[in-house]
Amino acid sequence: MRIATFNVQNMRLRRQGGGLHLDGARDGDIPADRTPEAANLDLVDRDLTARVLGEANADVVALQEVFDQASLDHFHDHVMAPAGVTAYPYRYCLPGNDGRGLDIALMSRLKPVRIESHAGETPSSLGLEPVAGCKANDRVFRRDCLEVDLGPLTLFVSHFKAPYPDLDAAQPIRRLEAAAVAKLIERRFRQPDTAFWLVAGDLNEPGPAERTAGSALEPIMALGGVDLMLRISAEERWSFHQPYSEIYSRPDALIASRALAEEHPDAVPGIIRSGLDFDADRYSGKRLAGVGQHRPHASDHAAVVVDFPGLEGGPAAGPGASKPSKT
């Protein structure tokens, strides 16, 4: 089973001039990305996004920053298909908590046994203490955490709060999100360290040099989580470049259970940077035709993939699995 995670940067389908227009990979916080000329590059961006996914060729893809189901389906049917990407018959984009409507999505060639949104969870519902910025009955996830039961493997897909512009203010909320994911893992498995689970997505963890406190991801690691990205050399570990800066980081994460990591010692993630713009000049490898200096590009993130041979089938998610709850 090959798993990919990819933040596709603001993918939203809009009705414009009687037709449909899929937003490109741009945030709008850069003046150059708000011009009519910038809009003319949107379709090229999304073709590049599709071609990166074709290169990833994953069985299951966790996506971040997809507006809704219609945006996901349009991208799949009208951009990925013409690009020759093998179809994903199972596609989900459930409503989350992001104020801009950018949700978590999943595409799969394997039929999930179960998929469940946890957008409605609160500190109170999970037995967690509230923190500044998140009261007891506030929704704990800034977007969502999708729990996806694939039979032999359970995915927990999330997109945590960004640490910017105030890292210290964001840290308690981000740690609370991580604690919430840990609670969901404990709810699902009697013995989390012996079960097969994987936390995937944009967890927005800043690098050690940027942090003023410990990692917000510690609650997940305390369950025996293994950061698979650490299997990549430090200089090659980055998956994101901030436009017009020299900041290279790796917000994109794959955290495996201890049992899964030990079962697959050769599961080293691959980072697909072929769709990044030339501004990310730390990467000197081959880029897809059409990539520009700042745009067009597939995203400001790279896609990350990892292989788990032998997990394509099977009824149980590891020896520590409990019975799945109904959707």
Dump pLDDT digits (tens) for 177-200.
Answer: 999 999 999 999 999 999 999 999
Residue 4, both tokens: 């990919």
Percentage of residues in the chain having pLDDT higher than 90 = 83
pLDDT band at 327 (very low <50, low <70, confident <90, very high): very low
Over residues 64-70, mean pLDDT: 98
Can you give the pTM of this predicted structure? Answer: 0.94
CATH class of the domain whose range is 2-307:
alpha beta
pLDDT number for residue 211: 64
- 211 against 131, higher pLDDT: 131
pLDDT number for residue 314: 44
The overall average pLDDT reported for the chain is 93
Dist CA 53 CA 178 (whole Å) = 27
pLDDT at 69 over 90: yes
pLDDT number for residue 247: 86
Q: Which of 2-6, 242-246, 281-285 has the lowest mean pLDDT?
A: 242-246
Over residues 280-296, mean pLDDT: 97
pLDDT number for residue 113: 97
Q: Return the domain boundaries, the chain.
A: 2-307
pLDDT number for residue 325: 35
Over residues 301-305, mean pLDDT: 98
pLDDT at 4 over 60: yes
- 181 against 315, higher pLDDT: 181
